[in-house]
Amino acid sequence: GCLLLCLLLAIVGAQAGGEVKPRPPPCQQSLTKVSCRAAGLHSFPEDLPQGVKHLELSHNLLQNLSESCLPTLGQLEHLDLRSNLLVAISGLARLPRLHSLLLGSNRLHHNYRDNVVAFSALRGLEVLDLSDNGLESHMVEGFLGSLAALRVLHLPGNRLSQLPAGIFQGSPRLSELDLSNSYIMDIEEGALEVLQELAVLSLALNSLHCLSSFSLRQLQVLNLSHNALELFGWEEGQGPYLLQVLDLSHNRLLSFPQLPAAHRLVHLNLSHNAITSLDPSSHHPAQFVLHYEEMVSFNALLGTAASLTHLAELDLSYNCLQLLPLLFFRAMHSLFTLSVAMNCLQDITMELLARDGDEDRNGMATWPEDAALSVRSMDLHGNAIHTLPCWFFDALPQLEAIDLSSNSLRPCGADMGGTLGGSSLWAEPCTAFHNIPHLQHLSLRRNGLTQLLPHTFSQTPLLSLDLSENRGLAMPRAALEGLEHSLQQLRLRGNHMDNSRAEVPCLNELRVLDLSGNRLNLLPTGLFCSPLQTLDVSDNELPALPEQALAGWTHSLQALCLAGNPLHCCGLGWLDA
């Protein structure tokens, strides 16, 4: 009320004094740069400084840039006209020094023949944005006919439908080309091969079904995501490819692509496809069925994996894999991040296919010492894994982080020794998470865990542990013993744990604790010695917080969430702490 009264008085006072603040000018300018962005302009601004080099006119209402409307700006190098209503741009011929021209989101498909004539004068143009202009392939070819110096071209959001052989012949020096979201269904042979300096190409969000003879060896970044590709193959011979980033996500690939010469590939995204197996020679009904004669034998696939020696990141998430053979990745010596999340994985094996008599090799065997994988971060969440083989962490000696959430794993206790991976000595198979020297981050969220055994994580230097959404989990004090001097983040959210099921030892390094969504009316006393910085105990049954704990957290606690607790209003003395 007081604030509103003050505002009203201030307004009345300003009106009584006749003081009206001047509106800011529609354009902000310096000696060489002028910005009239979203200034409501219907015509080209007048009285621009003669030496202006950078002019921004985006998000206005300009429709016609004829020569009579355009002043002489002989020094102008960059012009931004995006998001206007332009249909005519003949006046651009008066800007001979223009290096960068942004015309995205206009209407240049109207009157395009006259507009093409204006482009013929822009022979020094290096950057051009023609996105979202309703252009068809023959129109684009006309615009580019005289732009021999062009290096960067953006054409997303047009109506190209196909790329004819001569479409880029007038701009052979292109190094970056964006053709995304342009309804492209066909690429004629020779359309892209003329671009010998092309390094970055995006064909995302089109309707391509097959690329069986990809030959752009100089490319470094290729985005083919969100198409309908079922086959992707490279031409052999004539030296290696320079490609470093390849995105094939959101397609219909049925198997791991053929990449025999991708020696420099660093990032490969195969997520959101229909890959059912890493072995295209398999005839198992639940695995890959060969659909194309162009697909080569299984030995060629192994050659593909062997060539990916520089691959650092591989994303196979959101596919249909049921089997994960880790030896498939043995030649990927630089592989740092591997995601196989949201598949149908039930088994993790050594070999691509277990042969008769090989059960021991894929079950209780020893991982070959010369085949250690370099992976440091692994995502296996959202599968149907019941147990990890006993050699799993031996195969991944550098593993620092693993997400195993949304599976059906049961952790072993440290005292269970070698009784892992489905041993008949125990009714249920379990997975050992103790004595893993480099593992620092582990998520077992939503695994249906009901009980942790003593010393489950001993001699594993975990920094973060997520055990959330395991409804009814019982965690005795001894379960986390061994983590007293390493664990910094612990998440136990949504477990419906009461006081008897949530016991923790003194965790000397614990900084972040999430206990929300449980049934606690007391905090575990083991927490009182932890230097907590963030504590979430929302949605519990706490009437108050223990003053003893809060006194210890006075100098460390920075964030505290208490929502959804039946706090006693008459007993809030703990707030003083």
Give me the DSSP letters along 495-524.
----GGGB-----TT--EEE--SS--SS--
Question: What confidence tens digit (pLDDT) does each residue in 23-77 have?
Answer: 556 899 888 999 999 999 999 998 888 889 999 999 999 999 988 878 888 899 9
Amino acid occupying residue 199: A
Position 69 scores a pLDDT of 79
Same fold, 234-280+305-349+370-409 and 439-576: yes
Nearest by Cα to 401 from 316, 313, 462, 357: 462
How many CB atoms are closer than 10 A to CB 272?
A: 19
- By DSSP bridging, strand 33-35 and strand 28-29 are antiparallel
How many CB atoms are closer than 10 A to CB 107?
A: 16
Instruction: Give DSSP secondary structure letters for 68-129.
Output: TTS---TT--EEE--SS--SB-GGGGG-TT--EEE--SS-TTTTHHHHHHHHTT-TT--EEE
Position 47 scores a pLDDT of 84
The answer to whether 256 and 270 are in contact (CB under 8 A) is: yes
Q: Which two tokens stand for residue 6?
A: 């003050």
From 3.40.140.10, 3.50.50.60, 3.40.50.620, 3.80.10.10, which CATH number describes the 234-280+305-349+370-409 domain?
3.80.10.10
CA angle 60, 66, 68 (to 5 degrees): 110
Spatial separation of the C-alpha atoms in residues 321 and 324, rounded to whole Å: 7
The answer to whether 169 and 147 are in contact (CB under 8 A) is: no
Please write down the long-range contacts of 559-565, taking CB distance under 8 Å and 24 or more positions apart. Answer: 559/533, 559/534, 559/535, 560/534, 560/535, 561/516, 561/535, 561/536, 561/537, 562/537, 562/538, 563/538, 563/539, 564/538, 564/539, 564/540, 565/537, 565/538, 565/539, 565/540, 565/541
Position 17 scores a pLDDT of 52
Q: Tell me the whole-structure pTM to 2 decimals.
A: 0.87
Cβ-proximal residues to 171 (8 Å cutoff; 6+ apart), any chain: 144, 147, 148, 150, 153
Domain boundaries, the chain: 234-280+305-349+370-409, 439-576
Distances (CA, A) of 112 to 88, 136, 141: 8, 10, 11
φ and ψ at residue 263, rounded to 5 degrees? -70, -20
Spatial separation of the C-alpha atoms in residues 294 and 233, rounded to whole Å: 9
Task: Give the pLDDT means over successive 10-residue stretches in the chain (577 positions).
Answer: 41 49 72 94 89 95 88 91 96 91 96 91 96 97 96 97 95 98 94 95 96 85 96 76 96 89 92 87 40 41 72 98 94 96 95 52 71 96 96 96 98 68 57 96 97 95 98 95 97 96 94 97 92 97 88 90 92 77
Position 292 scores a pLDDT of 39
CA 224 to the chain's CA centroid: 15
The answer to whether 514 and 538 are in contact (CB under 8 A) is: no
Position 377 scores a pLDDT of 98
Spatial separation of the C-alpha atoms in residues 151 and 448, rounded to whole Å: 55
Position 237 scores a pLDDT of 66
Spatial separation of the C-alpha atoms in residues 184 and 558, rounded to whole Å: 53
Position 26 scores a pLDDT of 81
Q: Which CATH architecture has domain 439-576?
A: Alpha-Beta Horseshoe (3.80)
